[in-house]
Structures are given as C-alpha cells and as structure tokens.
Amino acid sequence: MPSSRSTAGPQPLPTDLSATDLLALYYYMRLTRVLEERLVALHRQGKVVGGLFRSLGQEADAVGSAYALEPGDMLSPLIRNLGSMLVQGATPLEVFRQYMAKAESPTAGRELNIHFSDLERGFLGQVSSLGTMVPVMAGITLYFKLTDQPRVGLVYVGDGAMSTGAFHEGLNFAAVQRVPLVVVCENNGYAYSTPTRMQTAAARLVDKAAGYGLPGVRADGNDVVATYEVTREAVTRARAGGGPTLIELVTYRRKGHAEHDDQRYLPAGELEAWEQNDPIARYRDRLIGAGWAGVEDLGREDARVETEVDGALARCIDEPFPAIGTALSGVFADPPAAEPEWYRALPGAPSDRRAGEPPHG
C-alpha cells in the first residue's frame, strides 16, 4: 500500500514507491528477520512448543509482494510468509503468542506458528495440507467478483505445493472464473529436501501459466522492489477485471525446512553462494547507494524493530497457556461447545439404570 509519490534523493525512486514506502519495505524485512531470530532463541529454550520454520533469505519476496496490496485486499500466506503477514498488520505479539501457544494467542492455543487469520486486516491463515489455500482464495476472490467489490486476493504457493491437485484445481477454477486473484509461487529451490528439478520437469515454474490461460511473470525474489513491482502490476490487472496472474519469484531457503533440519541434502557451495545474495543486505546497499535513505534512517528502523520485538516478547513471555475448559468450544456455532467426555465429568453412579432395578453382576 504505497503512500503518495515523492521525489527525494539523488536517483529517481522506482515505480510508484515513495521514500516512506522504501523505508517501510526495509522495516518489514528487518522485522521479519529479527522476529524469527528471537523465535530461534525461544525455540532453543523450549519455549516454542512446536516446530519453527524460517524464511531467512526470503524476506524480500514475502514483503515486496504483500506490499503491493491495498487496504481491503486479502492474502493467504505460507509458512515462509511471516513478512507478508506483518505487512498486512499481524503483530510480533501475535506471532510470539502463537508459537508459544499462549491463551491470548489469536487462535487461543489451537493452531501453531503463523496459522492464524484476520479477515479484517486481510489475511487468511493457511492449513498444513499444501495447495489448499489456492481454491479457498479462489472462493474469497469469487466473493469479491460476485459482489462487485474492487478488492484483490493474493495467495502464495511453494515450488512443492505446485505439485498438489489442490493447486491445480484452484488455479484452474480461478482462471476460468477470472477472479481477482494473484498467485505467487515462491521458488526457493526446495520442498523440504526435494530440489525443484525433482518436483517438476518444467524449465521454469512460470511456464505453467499458459496451461491455465494466464499471464505469467518471473522475477528476482531477492530484490524487494522487483517483487513489489511484478506483484503490483498483477494486482492492478486483477483489480481491473483482468483475472489472475501467476508470478514466479526466484529465491532460496537458506535455513532447513524447519529448525531440526540439518540440510544434509544440499550440494556443496550452494548455500554459501546464496548467502552472498541476502535480500536485506542487498536492499540496504541499494537504498544507501541510490541515496534513497541514509545510514541513520536505517539505523532508526533497526532500532524500532528491536524495540518492538523486545516489547512484544516481554509482554507475553510469561503469559499462561489457555485454560483446558476452552478446548471444547467452537467446533460448531450450534452447539457452541462439546460436552466433556464421561470419564472426565465422572458420574457418581451409572445414570442409565432401569428405574427400580438392581444393578447387574
């Protein structure tokens, strides 16, 4: 959601981004990274209840693409789209609470990591089954279309998730219905241990677009401005009734699939090469090199990130887990809660005796 155009700095600003926007992109990428680093520490301390999934090296693709949305638009993230959720307004406090399964977490301790939603702020949490969110987001954007609202949806899929039937059915449905949905494929080289060439024989993932009758574009996923620009164009087309676009953002997952993954399957040197292509370092250099921001500006953003993350963590670290009684409510709207099982609410005596009869045996 770019603010109005401005022209400060020696080089012209890229596309429709203002200096404020450029700093915001930096801020969100830093926030993603610092937040995840704190989570790593919490994970080592056993405070993160389940697994931890990093997006190290992918911050640009998440942040830049989400930044192309407007208020009222909706996105559905994947596990490596913490940055996208932060852009949409998810807070570090919420994220800490989720990972630590706190009572006050957005899902009240029911779901893990960043699997949480806020339709108001515009994000719909994923489920684990890969590909699922593509048809669901096709439905959300079908709603936009049916009700004639100029709103757009964005859904992420990994190189692995593109092999699922759900991806195929959902993208085809969206294409036929011409709903305002942008599909961003994050090609980060791996699905867990499986390299992209063992996931598909296609030369490029974006080659799938034509098979759905869609425009396809490919961009450098480690260039936050580029990810913003290609997504922005697709978002604009979608909003104008031009239907979905398939975007491939080429990036790299620098950490294992999850914290416990030692990446034994990586070819030698590959990781090191990508370390030289860190999206935050690259962007920082570019901001300074182009004169779009000063070292002090970035320092201010860095400090702000630290303060926010520290504040959020301090606030929730000692919060309690949810109370057990809460676990039974909300499977249905009606009835609002399930009964506790009989062996928990122990009846003093069997309640089903035939009146006046002696018990058996």
Binding site for ligand TPP (CB under 6 A): 78, 80, 128-130, 158-161, 164, 186, 188, 190-192, 253, 257
CB-count exposure of residue 80 (10 Å: 0-12, 13-18, 19+): buried
Per the CB < 8 A criterion, the answer to whether 22 and 287 are in contact is yes
Place of tokens 């250099």: 285
Place of tokens 């996931």: 199
Min separation Cβ 117 and ligand TPP, Å: 18
Is 187 a binding residue for its own copies by CB under 8 A? The answer is no
Residue nearest to Mg ion (CB): 158
Q: Residue 210 touches which of another protein, its own copies, Mg ion, none (CB < 5 to 8 A by kind)?
A: its own copies
Min separation Cβ 124 and another protein, Å: 7
Structure tokens at 276: 């030289």
Q: Residue 78 touches which of another protein, its own copies, ligand TPP, none (CB < 5 to 8 A by kind)?
A: ligand TPP
Toward ligand TPP, which CB reaches closer, 88 or 126? 126
Is 200 a binding residue for its own copies by CB under 8 A? The answer is yes
Burial 236-245 (b: 16+ CB within 10 A, else e): bbbbeeebbb
200/340 Cα distance (integer angstroms): 48
Min separation Cβ 128 and its own copies, Å: 17
Place of tokens 């991806």: 167
Min separation Cβ 175 and its own copies, Å: 4
Q: In the chain, how many H helices and how many E strands?
A: 10, 7
Toward another protein, which CB reaches closer, 314 or 323? 323
Toward Mg ion, which CB reaches closer, 105 or 188? 188
Toward its own copies, which CB reaches closer, 163 or 277? 163
Q: Residue 208 touches which of ligand TPP, Mg ion, its own copies, none (CB < 5 to 8 A by kind)?
A: its own copies
Min separation Cβ 114 and ligand TPP, Å: 12
Helix spans in the chain (H): 19-44, 59-66, 82-87, 92-99, 133-146, 165-177, 224-239, 270-275, 279-289, 295-316
Alpha carbon of residue 165 to chain centroid: 21
Q: Residue 253 touches which of its own copies, ligand TPP, another protein, none (CB < 5 to 8 A by kind)?
A: ligand TPP
Sign of CA dihedral 42, 26, 270, 199: positive
* Angle 255-269-254 from CA coordinates, rounded to 5°: 15
For binding to Mg ion (CB under 5 A), which residues are involved? 158-159, 188, 191
360/339 Cα distance (integer angstroms): 28
Burial 46-58 (b: 16+ CB within 10 A, else e): eebbeebbbbbbb
Toward its own copies, which CB reaches closer, 201 or 346? 201
Min separation Cβ 355 and another protein, Å: 9
Min separation Cβ 281 and Mg ion, Å: 22
Given candidates 18, 91, 164, 277, which one binds its own copies under the rule CB under 8 A? 164
Q: Give residues in contact with its own copies (CB under 8 A).
A: 163-169, 172, 175-176, 178, 198-203, 207-214, 243
